[in-house]
Amino acid sequence: MMGQITPVFIISLVIAVSALAMLIGFSAYVASSLSGMAYSIAASSSAMRNTISQGVQIPNSYNIWVEWQ
């Protein structure tokens, strides 16, 4: 009985964890882009942009957009 329950449980756990990680990553990307807009409006210091670009990892096009502003 346990031999039949555990593989299904492990597979469902892996699927749930990966879906949760994708949700967390997407919400973190949206929150960082919103906070990046607020930072570009409030304080346009290069150090703040460096911390934002280090925190996200995808923001090359977004940093170009911040530079255009």
Instruction: Please state the pTM of the whole predicted model.
Output: 0.37
Q: Where do the domains of the chain lie?
A: 33-69
User: Which bin fits 43, alpha (ψ -120 to 50), beta or left (φ > 0)?
Assistant: beta
The answer to whether 58 and 29 are in contact (CB under 8 A) is: yes
* pLDDT by residue, tens only, the chain of 69 residues: 555 667 778 888 888 888 888 888 888 787 777 776 666 656 555 555 555 555 554 445 555 544 444
